[in-house]
Amino acid sequence: MLVALAAACGVMRRAAHAVAPQPDPPAATRWNATLWEPSDTTADRGDTSGPHGIAWMAPGSSDNHTIRVRIAMHRGDPSQKYVWRVHFGKCDNDQGVFGPPAAYHDLVTDTTGVASSYALFALGFPSSGQYFVRVDRVAGADPDTFICGNLAPPK
């Protein structure tokens, strides 16, 4: 019994360590995006009264063989579920989903319309290309684009 308890404690300690939050990587090392409603014009994009968010994609390890993606959204519909994905291309030119869909965790807003999520991919970190992040409202069979933003490469 004592051996089983000691083993269980070791498993719990490793599990707690595995999910410990990591600090955001420096902006200069990651792809960054600001997400807006598709109907927003460039002039409206400083207005944060509507739905908006941020996302970034960065190396998840020093050997450059994993990718971490984080998203945060504000002013969503309270207590709602949204799906999000990184895509190849740009918001107005979708070239397909980046990475395995199962790696993405749904965004679920709190009562104030705020949500955040992450994804981790066992893929090499891209040094070039075009990528964007899209958040879709889940209503019925057809998802509806809620907010979107093109990822800008590290500078």
Domain range 28-151, its CATH number among 3.10.620.30, 2.60.40.200, 2.40.160.20, 3.40.50.720: 2.60.40.200
CA–CA dist 57, 24 (Å, integer): 10
User: What does the pLDDT read at residue 46?
Assistant: 62
The tens digit of pLDDT for each residue in 38-80 reads: 876 554 556 667 899 999 999 888 888 899 999 999 999 999 9
Q: What is the pLDDT of residues 82-95, one digit of tens each?
A: 999 999 999 999 99
pLDDT of 25 > 80? The answer is yes
The residues spanned by each domain of the chain are 28-151
Structure letter (DSSP) for residue 152: B
Residues 6+ apart with CB under 8 A from 9: none
pLDDT greater than 50 at residue 106: yes
